[in-house]
Amino acid sequence: MDGEDTAGRLIEATQELLWERGYVGTSPRAVQRRAGVGQGSMYHHFGGKPDLARAAVHRSAEEMQARAEADLSGAGGALGRVRAYLTRERAVLRGCRVGGLAQDPDVVADPGLRAPLQETFDRLRARLAEVLEEGRADGEFRPDLDPAGTAATVVAVVQGGYVLARSAGHPGPFHEAVDGLLRLLDAHAAEPDTRP
Amino acid sequence: MDGEDTAGRLIEATQELLWERGYVGTSPRAVQRRAGVGQGSMYHHFGGKPDLARAAVHRSAEEMQARAEADLSGAGGALGRVRAYLTRERAVLRGCRVGGLAQDPDVVADPGLRAPLQETFDRLRARLAEVLEEGRADGEFRPDLDPAGTAATVVAVVQGGYVLARSAGHPGPFHEAVDGLLRLLDAHAAEPDTRP
DNA sequence: GTCTATAAGCTGATAGAC
DNA sequence: GTCTATCAGCTTATAGAC
Protein backbone atom coordinates (compact mmCIF):
# COMPACT_ATOMS: atom_id res chain seq x y z
CA MET A 1 0.00 0.00 0.00
CA ASP A 2 3.00 2.29 0.60
CA GLY A 3 4.06 3.75 -2.74
CA GLU A 4 7.48 4.58 -1.30
CA ASP A 5 8.57 1.08 -0.39
CA THR A 6 11.51 -0.55 -2.13
CA ALA A 7 9.53 -3.07 -4.19
CA GLY A 8 7.15 -0.32 -5.30
CA ARG A 9 9.97 1.96 -6.39
CA LEU A 10 11.55 -0.91 -8.32
CA ILE A 11 8.30 -1.63 -10.13
CA GLU A 12 7.78 2.02 -11.00
CA ALA A 13 11.32 2.40 -12.31
CA THR A 14 10.88 -0.75 -14.38
CA GLN A 15 7.59 0.52 -15.82
CA GLU A 16 9.31 3.72 -16.94
CA LEU A 17 12.31 1.97 -18.46
CA LEU A 18 10.20 -0.63 -20.25
CA TRP A 19 8.22 2.22 -21.78
CA GLU A 20 11.33 4.12 -22.85
CA ARG A 21 13.68 1.32 -23.82
CA GLY A 22 11.68 -1.90 -24.15
CA TYR A 23 12.47 -5.20 -22.46
CA VAL A 24 15.71 -6.02 -24.29
CA GLY A 25 16.93 -2.47 -23.73
CA THR A 26 16.21 -2.46 -19.99
CA SER A 27 18.90 -3.80 -17.66
CA PRO A 28 18.46 -4.64 -13.97
CA ARG A 29 21.35 -2.27 -13.34
CA ALA A 30 19.52 0.67 -14.93
CA VAL A 31 16.42 -0.19 -12.90
CA GLN A 32 18.43 -0.19 -9.68
CA ARG A 33 19.96 3.18 -10.47
CA ARG A 34 16.64 4.81 -11.33
CA ALA A 35 14.95 3.34 -8.26
CA GLY A 36 17.87 4.29 -6.03
CA VAL A 37 18.08 0.71 -4.84
CA GLY A 38 21.09 -1.57 -4.49
CA GLN A 39 21.84 -4.79 -6.32
CA GLY A 40 21.20 -7.14 -3.43
CA SER A 41 18.01 -5.33 -2.53
CA MET A 42 16.58 -5.86 -5.98
CA TYR A 43 17.39 -9.57 -6.00
CA HIS A 44 15.89 -9.90 -2.55
CA HIS A 45 12.49 -8.63 -3.73
CA PHE A 46 12.48 -10.07 -7.23
CA GLY A 47 13.83 -13.26 -8.77
CA GLY A 48 15.49 -11.47 -11.67
CA LYS A 49 14.81 -9.42 -14.74
CA PRO A 50 11.84 -11.45 -16.07
CA ASP A 51 10.19 -11.51 -12.64
CA LEU A 52 10.59 -7.75 -12.22
CA ALA A 53 9.29 -7.13 -15.74
CA ARG A 54 6.23 -9.31 -15.17
CA ALA A 55 5.27 -7.23 -12.12
CA ALA A 56 5.81 -3.96 -14.01
CA VAL A 57 3.94 -5.03 -17.16
CA HIS A 58 1.06 -6.33 -15.05
CA ARG A 59 0.72 -2.96 -13.35
CA SER A 60 1.00 -0.97 -16.59
CA ALA A 61 -1.69 -3.16 -18.13
CA GLU A 62 -4.03 -2.52 -15.21
CA GLU A 63 -3.45 1.22 -15.41
CA MET A 64 -4.13 1.28 -19.15
CA GLN A 65 -7.32 -0.72 -18.75
CA ALA A 66 -8.53 1.67 -16.07
CA ARG A 67 -7.97 4.72 -18.29
CA ALA A 68 -9.79 3.13 -21.22
CA GLU A 69 -12.68 2.10 -19.01
CA ALA A 70 -13.00 5.66 -17.75
CA ASP A 71 -13.44 6.95 -21.31
CA LEU A 72 -15.80 4.20 -22.40
CA SER A 73 -18.05 4.41 -19.35
CA GLY A 74 -18.35 8.20 -19.34
CA ALA A 75 -21.36 10.27 -20.24
CA GLY A 76 -22.77 10.50 -23.75
CA GLY A 77 -23.85 8.16 -26.52
CA ALA A 78 -21.90 5.27 -27.98
CA LEU A 79 -20.16 7.30 -30.69
CA GLY A 80 -19.37 10.02 -28.17
CA ARG A 81 -17.67 7.57 -25.83
CA VAL A 82 -15.68 5.94 -28.64
CA ARG A 83 -14.68 9.43 -29.74
CA ALA A 84 -13.65 10.25 -26.16
CA TYR A 85 -11.42 7.18 -26.12
CA LEU A 86 -9.89 7.96 -29.51
CA THR A 87 -9.27 11.64 -28.87
CA ARG A 88 -8.04 11.44 -25.29
CA GLU A 89 -4.81 13.34 -24.77
CA ARG A 90 -1.84 11.05 -25.27
CA ALA A 91 1.94 11.33 -25.25
CA VAL A 92 1.83 10.12 -28.85
CA LEU A 93 5.58 10.06 -29.53
CA ARG A 94 6.18 7.91 -26.47
CA GLY A 95 3.95 5.19 -27.83
CA CYS A 96 1.76 2.78 -25.87
CA ARG A 97 3.44 1.42 -22.76
CA VAL A 98 1.63 -1.87 -23.23
CA GLY A 99 1.40 -2.28 -27.01
CA GLY A 100 5.00 -1.20 -27.53
CA LEU A 101 6.20 -4.32 -25.73
CA ALA A 102 4.57 -6.55 -28.35
CA GLN A 103 7.48 -5.77 -30.65
CA ASP A 104 9.92 -7.42 -28.28
CA PRO A 105 10.64 -11.08 -29.09
CA ASP A 106 11.53 -11.91 -25.47
CA VAL A 107 8.17 -10.51 -24.33
CA VAL A 108 5.99 -12.49 -26.75
CA ALA A 109 8.07 -15.61 -26.05
CA ASP A 110 7.44 -15.48 -22.27
CA PRO A 111 3.82 -16.38 -21.48
CA GLY A 112 3.96 -14.50 -18.18
CA LEU A 113 5.07 -11.35 -19.97
CA ARG A 114 2.75 -11.64 -22.94
CA ALA A 115 -0.40 -12.48 -20.94
CA PRO A 116 -1.01 -8.92 -19.67
CA LEU A 117 -0.77 -7.63 -23.25
CA GLN A 118 -3.24 -10.19 -24.53
CA GLU A 119 -5.67 -9.57 -21.67
CA THR A 120 -5.49 -5.81 -22.07
CA PHE A 121 -6.31 -5.82 -25.77
CA ASP A 122 -8.88 -8.62 -25.50
CA ARG A 123 -10.76 -6.70 -22.80
CA LEU A 124 -10.43 -3.40 -24.61
CA ARG A 125 -11.85 -4.89 -27.80
CA ALA A 126 -14.65 -6.60 -25.90
CA ARG A 127 -15.58 -3.39 -24.07
CA LEU A 128 -15.54 -1.35 -27.28
CA ALA A 129 -17.69 -3.98 -28.98
CA GLU A 130 -20.20 -3.69 -26.11
CA VAL A 131 -20.38 0.08 -26.50
CA LEU A 132 -20.79 -0.19 -30.28
CA GLU A 133 -23.47 -2.84 -29.88
CA GLU A 134 -25.32 -0.55 -27.46
CA GLY A 135 -25.17 2.19 -30.08
CA ARG A 136 -26.54 -0.12 -32.72
CA ALA A 137 -29.36 -1.32 -30.45
CA ASP A 138 -30.25 2.30 -29.64
CA GLY A 139 -30.45 3.16 -33.33
CA GLU A 140 -27.42 5.42 -33.07
CA PHE A 141 -25.58 3.31 -35.65
CA ARG A 142 -26.83 1.62 -38.78
CA PRO A 143 -28.00 -1.98 -38.26
CA ASP A 144 -25.22 -3.37 -40.45
CA LEU A 145 -22.50 -2.16 -38.08
CA ASP A 146 -20.16 -5.01 -37.07
CA PRO A 147 -19.38 -4.33 -33.37
CA ALA A 148 -16.56 -6.84 -32.90
CA GLY A 149 -14.76 -6.06 -36.17
CA THR A 150 -15.13 -2.33 -35.70
CA ALA A 151 -13.82 -2.61 -32.14
CA ALA A 152 -10.68 -4.36 -33.41
CA THR A 153 -10.28 -1.64 -36.03
CA VAL A 154 -10.53 1.11 -33.40
CA VAL A 155 -7.84 -0.43 -31.21
CA ALA A 156 -5.60 -1.12 -34.21
CA VAL A 157 -5.85 2.48 -35.40
CA VAL A 158 -4.59 3.74 -32.04
CA GLN A 159 -1.72 1.24 -31.89
CA GLY A 160 -0.83 1.79 -35.54
CA GLY A 161 -1.12 5.55 -35.10
CA TYR A 162 1.69 5.39 -32.55
CA VAL A 163 3.88 3.54 -35.07
CA LEU A 164 3.24 6.12 -37.80
CA ALA A 165 3.84 9.06 -35.45
CA ARG A 166 7.12 7.68 -34.11
CA SER A 167 8.25 6.92 -37.67
CA ALA A 168 7.40 10.45 -38.75
CA GLY A 169 8.96 12.07 -35.71
CA HIS A 170 5.79 14.06 -35.00
CA PRO A 171 2.26 13.26 -33.80
CA GLY A 172 0.53 14.30 -37.03
CA PRO A 173 -0.05 10.86 -38.57
CA PHE A 174 -1.58 9.57 -35.33
CA HIS A 175 -4.24 12.28 -35.43
CA GLU A 176 -4.82 11.87 -39.16
CA ALA A 177 -5.45 8.15 -38.69
CA VAL A 178 -7.85 8.79 -35.79
CA ASP A 179 -9.69 11.54 -37.68
CA GLY A 180 -9.98 9.31 -40.74
CA LEU A 181 -11.52 6.58 -38.61
CA LEU A 182 -13.94 8.98 -36.92
CA ARG A 183 -15.19 10.13 -40.33
CA LEU A 184 -15.80 6.54 -41.36
CA LEU A 185 -17.69 5.97 -38.11
CA ASP A 186 -19.69 9.17 -38.59
CA ALA A 187 -20.77 7.84 -41.97
CA HIS A 188 -22.01 4.73 -40.20
CA ALA A 189 -24.27 6.74 -37.93
CA ALA A 190 -27.95 6.08 -38.57
CA GLU A 191 -28.71 9.67 -39.56
CA PRO A 192 -26.65 11.23 -42.32
CA ASP A 193 -24.09 13.65 -40.94
CA THR A 194 -24.98 17.19 -42.00
CA ARG A 195 -22.54 19.25 -39.96
CA PRO A 196 -20.85 22.12 -41.80
CA MET B 1 24.81 -6.76 -58.35
CA ASP B 2 26.14 -10.02 -56.94
CA GLY B 3 23.87 -11.17 -54.13
CA GLU B 4 26.61 -13.41 -52.76
CA ASP B 5 29.22 -10.77 -52.03
CA THR B 6 30.29 -10.05 -48.48
CA ALA B 7 28.63 -6.67 -48.12
CA GLY B 8 25.38 -8.07 -49.53
CA ARG B 9 25.40 -11.02 -47.14
CA LEU B 10 26.01 -8.66 -44.22
CA ILE B 11 23.08 -6.47 -45.23
CA GLU B 12 20.77 -9.45 -45.64
CA ALA B 13 21.76 -10.89 -42.27
CA THR B 14 21.20 -7.50 -40.66
CA GLN B 15 17.77 -7.18 -42.28
CA GLU B 16 16.77 -10.55 -40.82
CA LEU B 17 18.08 -9.82 -37.35
CA LEU B 18 16.54 -6.34 -37.23
CA TRP B 19 13.21 -7.93 -38.11
CA GLU B 20 13.55 -10.66 -35.47
CA ARG B 21 15.27 -8.81 -32.64
CA GLY B 22 15.07 -5.07 -33.33
CA TYR B 23 18.00 -2.66 -33.33
CA VAL B 24 18.88 -2.82 -29.63
CA GLY B 25 18.65 -6.61 -29.73
CA THR B 26 20.92 -6.99 -32.75
CA SER B 27 24.70 -7.15 -32.16
CA PRO B 28 27.39 -6.87 -34.82
CA ARG B 29 28.64 -10.21 -33.56
CA ALA B 30 25.32 -11.92 -34.31
CA VAL B 31 25.28 -10.34 -37.77
CA GLN B 32 28.79 -11.65 -38.49
CA ARG B 33 27.84 -15.15 -37.41
CA ARG B 34 24.67 -15.24 -39.51
CA ALA B 35 26.44 -13.81 -42.55
CA GLY B 36 29.41 -16.15 -42.10
CA VAL B 37 31.73 -13.17 -42.13
CA GLY B 38 34.58 -12.28 -39.81
CA GLN B 39 34.92 -9.31 -37.50
CA GLY B 40 37.51 -7.43 -39.53
CA SER B 41 35.60 -8.04 -42.73
CA MET B 42 32.49 -6.42 -41.34
CA TYR B 43 34.35 -3.34 -40.13
CA HIS B 44 36.07 -3.06 -43.49
CA HIS B 45 32.76 -2.77 -45.35
CA PHE B 46 30.78 -0.83 -42.76
CA GLY B 47 31.66 1.83 -40.23
CA GLY B 48 29.90 0.08 -37.38
CA LYS B 49 26.51 -1.01 -36.13
CA PRO B 50 24.58 2.19 -37.02
CA ASP B 51 26.09 2.26 -40.53
CA LEU B 52 25.22 -1.38 -41.14
CA ALA B 53 21.70 -0.87 -39.81
CA ARG B 54 21.15 2.17 -42.04
CA ALA B 55 21.99 0.11 -45.12
CA ALA B 56 19.71 -2.74 -44.03
CA VAL B 57 16.76 -0.53 -43.06
CA HIS B 58 17.08 1.37 -46.34
CA ARG B 59 16.84 -1.87 -48.31
CA SER B 60 13.92 -3.22 -46.25
CA ALA B 61 12.06 0.04 -46.77
CA GLU B 62 12.56 -0.15 -50.54
CA GLU B 63 11.34 -3.74 -50.62
CA MET B 64 8.24 -2.89 -48.60
CA GLN B 65 7.41 0.06 -50.82
CA ALA B 66 7.73 -2.13 -53.92
CA ARG B 67 5.32 -4.73 -52.53
CA ALA B 68 2.76 -2.09 -51.60
CA GLU B 69 3.04 -0.44 -54.99
CA ALA B 70 2.41 -3.79 -56.68
CA ASP B 71 -0.89 -4.17 -54.81
CA LEU B 72 -2.01 -0.59 -55.30
CA SER B 73 -1.20 -0.47 -59.01
CA GLY B 74 -2.80 -3.79 -59.86
CA ALA B 75 -6.00 -4.38 -61.78
CA GLY B 76 -9.43 -3.46 -60.46
CA GLY B 77 -11.17 -0.45 -58.98
CA ALA B 78 -9.98 1.70 -56.10
CA LEU B 79 -11.69 -0.34 -53.38
CA GLY B 80 -10.44 -3.55 -54.98
CA ARG B 81 -6.84 -2.36 -54.90
CA VAL B 82 -7.08 -1.14 -51.30
CA ARG B 83 -8.60 -4.50 -50.44
CA ALA B 84 -5.74 -6.26 -52.25
CA TYR B 85 -3.25 -4.31 -50.14
CA LEU B 86 -5.08 -5.02 -46.91
CA THR B 87 -5.66 -8.72 -47.52
CA ARG B 88 -2.29 -9.62 -49.02
CA GLU B 89 -0.75 -12.66 -47.36
CA ARG B 90 1.50 -11.61 -44.49
CA ALA B 91 3.62 -13.29 -41.83
CA VAL B 92 1.43 -11.53 -39.29
CA LEU B 93 3.14 -12.77 -36.13
CA ARG B 94 6.51 -11.55 -37.37
CA GLY B 95 5.25 -8.01 -37.60
CA CYS B 96 6.28 -5.33 -40.07
CA ARG B 97 10.02 -5.25 -40.75
CA VAL B 98 9.86 -1.48 -41.15
CA GLY B 99 7.16 -0.40 -38.70
CA GLY B 100 8.48 -2.63 -35.96
CA LEU B 101 11.65 -0.57 -35.77
CA ALA B 102 9.66 2.53 -34.82
CA GLN B 103 9.42 1.12 -31.30
CA ASP B 104 13.17 1.30 -30.86
CA PRO B 105 14.38 4.50 -29.17
CA ASP B 106 17.81 4.32 -30.84
CA VAL B 107 16.15 4.12 -34.26
CA VAL B 108 13.88 7.13 -33.86
CA ALA B 109 16.77 9.07 -32.30
CA ASP B 110 19.08 8.55 -35.31
CA PRO B 111 17.86 10.60 -38.30
CA GLY B 112 19.61 8.27 -40.75
CA LEU B 113 17.79 5.28 -39.28
CA ARG B 114 14.39 6.93 -38.91
CA ALA B 115 14.33 8.53 -42.37
CA PRO B 116 13.54 5.31 -44.27
CA LEU B 117 10.62 4.65 -41.92
CA GLN B 118 9.23 8.13 -42.37
CA GLU B 119 9.60 7.99 -46.16
CA THR B 120 8.02 4.57 -46.41
CA PHE B 121 4.89 5.53 -44.50
CA ASP B 122 4.64 8.99 -46.04
CA ARG B 123 4.74 7.51 -49.54
CA LEU B 124 2.39 4.69 -48.66
CA ARG B 125 -0.17 7.12 -47.26
CA ALA B 126 0.22 9.41 -50.27
CA ARG B 127 -0.23 6.53 -52.72
CA LEU B 128 -3.28 5.20 -50.87
CA ALA B 129 -4.74 8.70 -50.82
CA GLU B 130 -4.27 8.89 -54.61
CA VAL B 131 -6.08 5.60 -55.12
CA LEU B 132 -8.92 6.65 -52.83
CA GLU B 133 -9.20 10.01 -54.58
CA GLU B 134 -9.41 8.19 -57.93
CA GLY B 135 -12.23 6.10 -56.53
CA ARG B 136 -14.06 9.18 -55.36
CA ALA B 137 -13.61 10.94 -58.70
CA ASP B 138 -14.92 7.84 -60.51
CA GLY B 139 -18.00 7.79 -58.30
CA GLU B 140 -16.92 4.53 -56.70
CA PHE B 141 -16.90 6.21 -53.27
CA ARG B 142 -19.26 8.74 -51.78
CA PRO B 143 -18.21 12.37 -52.35
CA ASP B 144 -17.63 12.96 -48.64
CA LEU B 145 -14.80 10.41 -48.47
CA ASP B 146 -11.62 11.95 -46.99
CA PRO B 147 -8.78 10.42 -49.02
CA ALA B 148 -5.83 11.55 -46.87
CA GLY B 149 -7.43 10.73 -43.52
CA THR B 150 -8.72 7.39 -44.74
CA ALA B 151 -5.29 6.53 -46.14
CA ALA B 152 -3.72 7.17 -42.74
CA THR B 153 -6.39 4.97 -41.15
CA VAL B 154 -5.69 2.13 -43.57
CA VAL B 155 -1.94 2.14 -42.85
CA ALA B 156 -2.54 2.44 -39.10
CA VAL B 157 -4.89 -0.55 -39.09
CA VAL B 158 -2.22 -2.75 -40.65
CA GLN B 159 0.50 -1.58 -38.26
CA GLY B 160 -1.82 -1.80 -35.27
CA GLY B 161 -3.08 -5.18 -36.42
CA TYR B 162 0.45 -6.53 -36.09
CA VAL B 163 0.62 -5.24 -32.51
CA LEU B 164 -2.68 -6.89 -31.57
CA ALA B 165 -1.76 -10.19 -33.22
CA ARG B 166 1.65 -10.39 -31.53
CA SER B 167 0.03 -9.53 -28.19
CA ALA B 168 -2.57 -12.24 -28.68
CA GLY B 169 -0.09 -14.83 -29.87
CA HIS B 170 -2.18 -15.55 -32.98
CA PRO B 171 -3.08 -13.70 -36.19
CA GLY B 172 -6.82 -13.46 -35.43
CA PRO B 173 -6.96 -9.83 -34.23
CA PHE B 174 -5.03 -8.63 -37.29
CA HIS B 175 -7.67 -10.06 -39.59
CA GLU B 176 -10.54 -8.83 -37.42
CA ALA B 177 -9.17 -5.30 -37.56
CA VAL B 178 -8.72 -5.47 -41.34
CA ASP B 179 -12.19 -6.95 -41.87
CA GLY B 180 -13.73 -4.29 -39.64
CA LEU B 181 -12.05 -1.58 -41.71
CA LEU B 182 -13.17 -3.15 -45.00
CA ARG B 183 -16.78 -3.14 -43.79
CA LEU B 184 -16.52 0.55 -42.93
CA LEU B 185 -15.05 1.22 -46.38
CA ASP B 186 -17.78 -0.86 -48.04
CA ALA B 187 -20.33 1.34 -46.33
CA HIS B 188 -18.62 4.34 -47.88
CA ALA B 189 -19.07 2.98 -51.38
CA ALA B 190 -21.42 5.08 -53.49
CA GLU B 191 -23.92 2.27 -54.01
CA PRO B 192 -25.29 0.45 -50.98
CA ASP B 193 -23.64 -2.91 -50.52
CA THR B 194 -26.16 -5.69 -51.14
CA ARG B 195 -23.95 -8.77 -51.16
CA PRO B 196 -25.31 -11.80 -49.28
C1' DG C 1 16.78 -6.35 4.04
C1' DT C 2 20.76 -4.27 2.20
C1' DC C 3 25.65 -4.20 1.12
C1' DT C 4 29.90 -5.36 -1.44
C1' DA C 5 32.66 -8.67 -4.04
C1' DT C 6 33.11 -11.81 -7.78
C1' DA C 7 32.38 -13.90 -12.28
C1' DA C 8 31.60 -15.72 -17.11
C1' DG C 9 30.01 -13.94 -21.10
C1' DC C 10 28.57 -10.33 -24.32
C1' DT C 11 29.09 -5.47 -26.66
C1' DG C 12 31.03 -2.50 -29.91
C1' DA C 13 35.03 -1.32 -31.37
C1' DT C 14 40.39 -0.61 -32.60
C1' DA C 15 45.09 -2.35 -34.07
C1' DG C 16 48.02 -4.55 -36.68
C1' DA C 17 49.48 -8.96 -38.97
C1' DC C 18 48.68 -11.55 -43.20
C1' DG D 1 39.98 -7.76 -47.91
C1' DT D 2 40.11 -10.85 -44.12
C1' DC D 3 42.13 -12.61 -39.84
C1' DT D 4 43.22 -12.71 -34.89
C1' DA D 5 44.24 -10.24 -30.62
C1' DT D 6 42.91 -6.95 -27.30
C1' DC D 7 40.03 -3.81 -24.62
C1' DA D 8 36.92 -1.11 -21.32
C1' DG D 9 32.54 -1.44 -20.06
C1' DC D 10 28.08 -3.63 -19.54
C1' DT D 11 24.84 -7.75 -18.36
C1' DT D 12 22.72 -10.81 -15.29
C1' DA D 13 23.33 -12.91 -11.91
C1' DT D 14 25.40 -15.62 -7.22
C1' DA D 15 27.72 -15.59 -2.55
C1' DG D 16 28.34 -14.23 1.69
C1' DA D 17 29.20 -10.43 5.10
C1' DC D 18 26.66 -7.03 7.84
In degrees and rounded to multiples of 5, residue A14 shows phi and psi of -65, -40
B/e letters for B16-39, b = 16+ CB within 10 Å, e = fewer, are: bbbbebbbbbbebebbbebbebee
Contact assessment for residue A178 and residue A86, using Cβ atoms and an 8 Å cutoff: yes
Q: How far apart are CA A167 and CA A142, in angstroms?
A: 35
pLDDT of residue A190: 77
* pLDDT tens, position by position, A148-176: 999 999 999 999 999 999 999 999 999 99
Report residue B195's pLDDT band, with 50, 70 and 90 as the boundaries.
very low
Average pLDDT in the A90-106 region? 98
* pLDDT tens, position by position, B140-162: 999 999 999 999 999 999 999 99
Residues 103 to 162 of B: which have CB under 8 A from any A CB? 103-105, 108, 114, 117-118, 120-122, 125, 142, 144, 146, 148-153, 155-162
* pLDDT tens, position by position, A119-128: 999 999 999 9
* pLDDT tens, position by position, B12-21: 999 999 999 9
Share of chain B above pLDDT 90, in %: 94
Report residue A191's pLDDT band, with 50, 70 and 90 as the boundaries.
low
* pLDDT tens, position by position, B114-146: 999 999 999 999 999 999 999 999 999 999 999
Cβ distance of A22 and B20 shorter than 8 Å: no
Contacts of B122 in chain A (CB under 8 A): 168
Report residue B191's pLDDT band, with 50, 70 and 90 as the boundaries.
low
Contacts of B27 in chain A (CB under 8 A): none
| Sign (positive or negative) of CA dihedral A133, A134, A135, A141 | positive
Which nucleotide is nearest to A40 if distance is taken from CA to C1'? C2
Question: Residue A195 above 50 pLDDT?
Answer: no
pLDDT of residue A3: 52
Amino acid at B146: D
CATH no., domain B57-187: 1.10.357.10
DSSP bridge partners of B189: B141
DSSP bridge partners of B141: B189
Average pLDDT in the A168-186 region? 98
| Sign (positive or negative) of CA dihedral B134, B138, B144, B150 | negative
CB-based burial label for B5 (10 Å; 0-12, 13-18, 19+): exposed
* C-beta atoms surrounding A33 within 10 Å: 12
Q: How far apart are CA A20 and CA B90, in angstroms?
A: 29
> Reduced to 3 states, what is the DSSP secondary structure of residue A179?
helix
pLDDT of residue A189: 87
Report chain B's mean pLDDT, rounded to a whole number.
95
- Helix H or strand E encompassing B160: helix B147-168
